[in-house]
Amino acid sequence: MARTVFEKCDAITRVAEVFRELGFEGASLYEITERTGLSKGSLYHFFPEGKEGMAQEILADVDQWFVREVFEPLERDEACVAITRMWQAIDSYFRSGRRICLFGAFALDETRDRFAKPIRLYFKRWIEALDGALVRAGVDAVTARSLAEDIVGGIQGSLTLARALKGDAVFSRTLARLQRRVDDALSPKRKSPSYASTRNSLKEDCDRESGASGRRDRGE
């Protein structure tokens, strides 16, 4: 019987991926052991609090990543640099729309009450950090707040659409659109409608019949 040794951080990312695929309720311990390769023994060694503990640690881990890669830069660094960095970080984190947001997913299903606080804090901090950066970049207060909310919400919505339409082009298009909207807010001279020129064959997603419905690629 081959014994594989795991690092806890590795366990966290693996289990996180299962939660992303199946949701909290849908991720049975059987599925988790099966998909991660970790036995129950290992899982309960790393997460003595069981499934709920896994979810908590995973959310904390994701949050930490966002704090480091997105929130703190937005709060601390030069605004435009931080915002540019955000677009890159988001696109890479969500794998161009193939990955969903655990906080968003948990917000919708039954788990929302159990993890309400971290979920709320995550979105609150994101919106506020972005808001602050926009203001520092010269956007007026009211517009900044609204734009920040628009962006964070828009990203979540596009992740839903990407999953629903089974295509990730919608995610890239949305990021591009939101990015343009920020640019427009920063240089209010030329007023393109902030749409148009998002040229990734818009019908692509909707028109595919069902695609590869088998195992979903899990990024890396």
Partner DNA sequence: TCCAATATATACCATTTGGTCTATAGCCGC
Partner DNA sequence: GCGGCTATAGACCAAATGGTATATATTGGA
- Taking the complex as a whole, how short is the minimal distance between the CB of residue 130 and DNA, in angstroms? 35
Q: Between 27 and 38, whose beta carbon lies closer to a second copy?
A: 27
In degrees and rounded to multiples of 5, residue 124 shows phi and psi of -60, -45
165 binds a second copy (CB under 8 A): yes
- Taking the complex as a whole, how short is the minimal distance between the CB of residue 194 and a second copy, in angstroms? 8
Q: Which two tokens stand for residue 6?
A: 């795991």
- Taking the complex as a whole, how short is the minimal distance between the CB of residue 163 and DNA, in angstroms? 22
- Taking the complex as a whole, how short is the minimal distance between the CB of residue 109 and a second copy, in angstroms? 4
Given the rule CB under 8 A, which of 42-50, 54-62, 85-93, 199-207 is the region that contacts a second copy?
Answer: 199-207
Q: Report the partner that residue 42 touches, choosing among DNA, a second copy, none (CB closer than 5 to 8 A by kind).
A: DNA
- Taking the complex as a whole, how short is the minimal distance between the CB of residue 114 and a second copy, in angstroms? 11
Q: Report the partner that residue 146 touches, choosing among DNA, a second copy, none (CB closer than 5 to 8 A by kind).
A: a second copy
Task: Please give the residue ranges that form the binding site for DNA (CB under 7 A).
Answer: 1-6, 27-31, 38-42, 44-46, 48, 50-52
Residue 188 is classified by DSSP as -
- Rounded (10°) angle between helices 8-26 and 29-36: 140
Rounded Cα distance between 6 and 123, Å, is 31
CA 86 and chain centroid, separation: 12
Q: Report the partner that residue 5 touches, choosing among DNA, a second copy, none (CB closer than 5 to 8 A by kind).
A: DNA
Residue 184 buriedness (CB in 10 A; 0-12 / 13-18 / 19+): middle
219 binds a second copy (CB under 8 A): no
82 binds a second copy (CB under 8 A): no
Q: Which two tokens stand for residue 66?
A: 């966002």
Rounded Cα distance between 132 and 193, Å, is 25
Residue 194 buriedness (CB in 10 A; 0-12 / 13-18 / 19+): middle
Q: Between 50 and 138, whose beta carbon lies closer to DNA?
A: 50
